[in-house]
Chain A
Amino acid sequence: MAKFFTKEHEWVEMAGGQATVGISEHAAHELGDITYVELPKIGRSVKQFDTLAGIESVKAASDIYAPISGKVVEVNQALDEAPELVNQGAEAQGWICKLEGVDEGELASLMDAETYGTYLRGL
């Protein structure tokens, strides 16, 4: 299934009832070298657009917001040792966590890739 994006530059992709979440390639590029990812606790429930995780680069510290409500069931542990994976593939191996129990209806409030692309050009 396709990715959906928030205005704060997170993405979410549904597969088998699970939502994989990360930050967009655009966001990773803007942050520069990523040096730390604060992964969420497994089992934590979040509401859409609540603070989900944190990310730090050589330039700044930022919050990552949940693009969709759900419960954290898995985190990308590789980022503990190698946060640069987010720079190498923010929308692939640099994913942040997986959520379950999501309401797919919330995807309607997000942008598809094409709309997000248009949104970025307008920034």
Chain B
Amino acid sequence: MEDLKSTPLRAAHEGLKALMAPFGGWLMPIQYAGIIAEHRWCRERAALFDICHMGEFLYKGDIVEDGLEGVFTFSVKTIAVGRSRYGFLLNEDGGVIDDLIVFRLAEDEAMIVVNAATTGNDFSVIRSRLKNPAVLTDISSRTGKVDLQGPLSREIMVRHFGPQIVDIPFFKFIRTRILDEDAIVSRTGYTGELGYEIFLPADKVARLWEILLQEPDVAPAGLGARDLLRLEMGYSLYGSDLDEGITPLTAGLSSFVNMDKEFIGKGALQRELAQGSPLAKVAFRVDSRRAPRHHYEILHEGEKVGSVTSGAFSPMLSCGIGLGLVKPSVAALGTRLVIRHERVEMEAEVVELPFYTGGSLRA
């Protein structure tokens, strides 16, 4: 593993004896106390995640005139200041270059938050699509990000950062001061729990981490727990459930695509709408504790009909859960499937998302 990047929290993770592993070009904490314990902590209390590896771009220019409006599958100009929106950057074939969130900071200012592994490519693609590329800056290296997620996160945030936190609705954010620096506190996350994403200058993140960890109800959680948490909600993971060969329509994410506006890849999506998708996304629940995993085969009545894109054992449901891409004819709710890999075989059933419905997300 050459040239792995480290976040400003690396020393903190090592001090906590975290198991570290490469992820998206970064050396990241996979677990501290244990994946299931951290997962449970997030569902019951408040878990703290190092998300400094994700990329951030700052756009300072006219949203329409300088070209941002046409870049993504959603409209940026209709995002109210103080709100954020999730969607996609597509290639000409409608394939997903990345999934991302745009934060509307001001009339002529937006922050784009992208996946770690795709940061460099996203930056060049987005710039190449702007009429005025100079309006976009990659601020990833100077921007730190930690997520505090869990049912107790609001009261902890209020205690540290003030009563204005109470009123942040889902997918809204505030600009505030934390540790004497400009910060963004956003009511977003990837866990299905009430929670916040905090953006702060990279050199202040270690201090913030330390302060939050002093709270008895806060424990650190690694990428292992994060993956279980997001999968229980059915959230897609770029690189597993989404990639350049999959369109958002195939991936079951059409609600994040606005076909009433122009964007690169729209033509391909219109053709897919007219002709039907070759594959359909399914969520399935395994009959046992066995875990389906990425690339396992999906069969229906003995015939191979697709493959698993994400899978895990769900601690909340006490069974295996997964997402997959299958022939549209076997995607209906209740369809019985068999998941197979070498000598491992498990029976499963197509179910609705989210798998886990008990989260505090909208609390």
- State the A residues within 8 Å of B (CB): 32-33, 35-36, 38, 51, 54, 56, 58-59, 61, 83
Q: Are B344 and A33 in contact (CB under 8 A)?
A: no
- CA separation between A36 and B291, bound complex, in Å? 8
Chain A to chain B contacts (Cβ below 8 Å), 30 pairs:
A32-B34, A32-B35, A32-B224, A33-B35, A33-B37, A35-B36, A35-B291, A36-B288, A36-B290, A36-B291, A36-B313, A38-B290, A51-B343, A54-B343, A54-B344, A56-B289, A56-B290, A56-B291, A58-B35, A58-B36, A58-B224, A58-B291, A58-B313, A59-B35, A59-B224, A61-B291, A61-B293, A61-B341, A61-B344, A83-B289
- Residues in B whose Cβ lies below 8 Å from that of A61: 291, 293, 341, 344
- Closest CB in chain B relative to A87 CB, distance in Å: 8
Q: Is the CB of A35 within 8 A of B289?
A: yes
Shortest CB-to-CB span from B84 to chain A, Å, is 30
Interface flag for B46 (CB, 8 Å): no
Majority-rule SS of B interface residues: mixed
Is there an interface contact between B293 and A58, defined as CB atoms closer than 8 Å?
A: no
- What is the distance, in angstroms, from B44's C-beta to the closest C-beta of chain A? 16
What DSSP secondary structure best describes chain A's contact surface? strand
Asked if A56 meets B31 with Cβ closer than 8 Å, knowing A35-B289, A35-B291, A36-B289, the reply is no
Residue B100 interfacial (CB < 8 Å):
no
How far is B279's CA from A102's CA once the two chains are assembled, in angstroms? 51
Question: How far apart sit A102 and B343, CA to CA, in the bound complex (Å)?
Answer: 26
CB distance from B41 to the nearest CB of A (A): 13
- The closest CB in chain A to the CB of B36 belongs to A33
The yes or no answer to B337 lying at the interface (CB within 8 A) is no
Q: Considering only CB atoms, which chain A residue lies closest to B291 in the complex?
A: A56
Interface residue? B136 (CB, 8 A): no
Contact, CB under 8 Å: A33 / B34: yes
CB distance from B194 to the nearest CB of A (A): 24
Interface string of B282-321 (1 = CB under 8 A from A): 0000001111010000000000000000001100000000
Excluding A36-B288, A54-B344, A61-B291, 7 further A-B contacts by CB distance (< 8 Å) are A35-B36, A35-B291, A36-B313, A54-B343, A56-B290, A58-B36, A61-B344
